[in-house]
Amino acid sequence: MRLILLGPPGSGKGTQAQRLVQRYGIIQLSTGDMLRAAIAAQTPVGLKAKDIMAAGHLVPDEIVVGIISDRIDQADAVNGFILDGFPRTVRQAEELDDLLKQKRMTLDAVVELKVNESALLARVENRAAQTRARGEEVRADDTPEVLAKRLHNYRTQTEPLIHYYADQRKLMTVDGMMTIEEVTGEILRILDAIGAGESQAKSKASRKKAAPAKRSASGAKRAVKKTAKKAPKVKAAAKSGKSARKAPKKATKGARKTGRTAGHRSATKTARKGAKKLTKKRAKA
Ligand code: AMP
């Protein structure tokens, strides 16, 4: 599964990415984290990025595109990844499209976390307080002044991506003002509806089965059974078209213009398949 999480600073992209990582066994690629690691290690990229980031500006496109291009070639990215904080400009999105094409990879969905701007300052202040409480150093750009700049950048440079991905029929919008659990639930429902969640969960289960080193044979069997039990639920959700109906309603103008989101398309297909099977069964009976 390959996903992009889109949203302003403090919208919960990092938190949601970590939850999806656990669920699907894919990796989170946060350009912000990678740049902070580069700064800490004082690499040439880190030295270039340090002052730019502290001032709340965007690091040049070629730097972040280079980082992502190298990273998605690594072995741990083979099962998929969640891009968190990338792309942030239309140019980065275009470069990402080219990269994925060259590497024969496809993007499953772009999940936009929609939040009220008024809540963001409180969230970022909360994050800084929690970091301080853990005895860790607070990010240089988590201050009200720099946050204002980062928000301005988001509005002017990153928000156009909403239309970019809506035009590609990849955009799914989730209300990021709900609780963390509710937001995760909504994302999982959307991913199931487009067929990405179900297949990824299955491949995670089969990877575990293939490498049972840390688990007893019976434990592995139980895990597979558990996944198998979950499958009908997912199908039922797709069949009812519940999330599928929700996604286009919340999608941006661009997506509505095209009439359907990927979620809608795929869930409808699954529902149709289900209906066909049912008709055949009935005919036999
Ligand atoms: P984040 O951790 O995603 O909030 O990013 C922190 C900072 O890192 C941003 O304010 C930018 O200065 C820089 N940064 C992270 N990702 C990107 C990107 N895709 N393009 C440009 N700058 C970035």
Q: Whose CA is nearest to atom 11 of ligand 1?
A: 58
- How many domains is the chain partitioned into structurally? 1
Share of the chain above pLDDT 90, in %: 58
Q: Which of 88, 124, 143 to mutate to test the pocket of ligand 1 (most atoms within 8 A of CB)?
A: 88
Model confidence at 158: pLDDT above 80: yes
Query: Which among 41, 46, 34 has a CA at the least distance from the CA of 74?
Result: 34
Query: What residue numbers bound the domain in which 181 lies?
Result: 2-284
Model confidence at 195: pLDDT above 80: yes
pLDDT at 283: 47
pLDDT at 138: 86
Q: Which of 5, 15, 58, 157 to mutate to test the pocket of ligand 1 (most atoms within 8 A of CB)?
A: 58
The average pLDDT across 59-72 equals 96
- Separation of CA 15 and ligand 1 centre (Å): 16
The Cα–Cα gap between 111 and 5 comes to 5
The average pLDDT across 154-167 equals 97
Residue found under tokens 């990229």? 45
pLDDT at 241: 38
Using H for helix, E for strand and C for coil, what is the string for the chain? Answer: CEEEEECCCCCCHHHHHHHHHHHHCCEEEEHHHHHHHHHHCCCHHHHHHHHHHHCCCCCCHHHHHHHHHHHHCCHHHCCCEEEECCCCCHHHHHHHHHHHHHCCCCCCEEEEEECCHHHHHHHHHHHHHHHHHCCCCCCCCCCHHHHHHHHHHHHHHHCHHHHHHHHCCCEEEEECCCCHHHHHHHHHHHHHHCCHHHHHHHHHHHHHHHCCCCCCHHHHHHHHHHHHHHHHHHHHHHHHCHHHHHHHHHCCHHHHHHCCCHHHHHHHHHHHHHHHHHHHHHHHC
- Top pLDDT among 247 and 111 is at 111
Q: What is the pLDDT of residues 207-237, one digit of tens each?
A: 666 655 444 333 333 333 333 333 333 333 3
Which ligand 1 atom is the nearest neighbour of the CA of 60? Answer: 21
| Residues classed as catalytic | 13, 88, 127, 139, 150
Q: Whose CA is nearest to atom 15 of ligand 1?
A: 32
pLDDT at 210: 66
The average pLDDT across 109-131 equals 90
- Top pLDDT among 117 and 198 is at 117
Q: How confident is the model at residue 38 (pLDDT cuts 50, 70, 90)?
A: very high
Model confidence at 41: pLDDT above 90: yes
Q: What is the pLDDT of residues 126-148, one digit of tens each?
A: 888 899 999 998 888 888 899 99
Model confidence at 88: pLDDT above 50: yes
Q: The domain that contains 119 carries what CATH number?
A: 3.40.50.300
Q: What is the pLDDT of residues 252-284, one digit of tens each?
A: 333 333 333 443 333 334 434 444 444 444 444
Ligand 1 pocket list (CB less than 6 A): 9, 31-32, 35, 52-53, 56-59, 64, 85-88, 92, 141, 150
- Separation of CA 188 and ligand 1 centre (Å): 26
Model confidence at 6: pLDDT above 80: yes
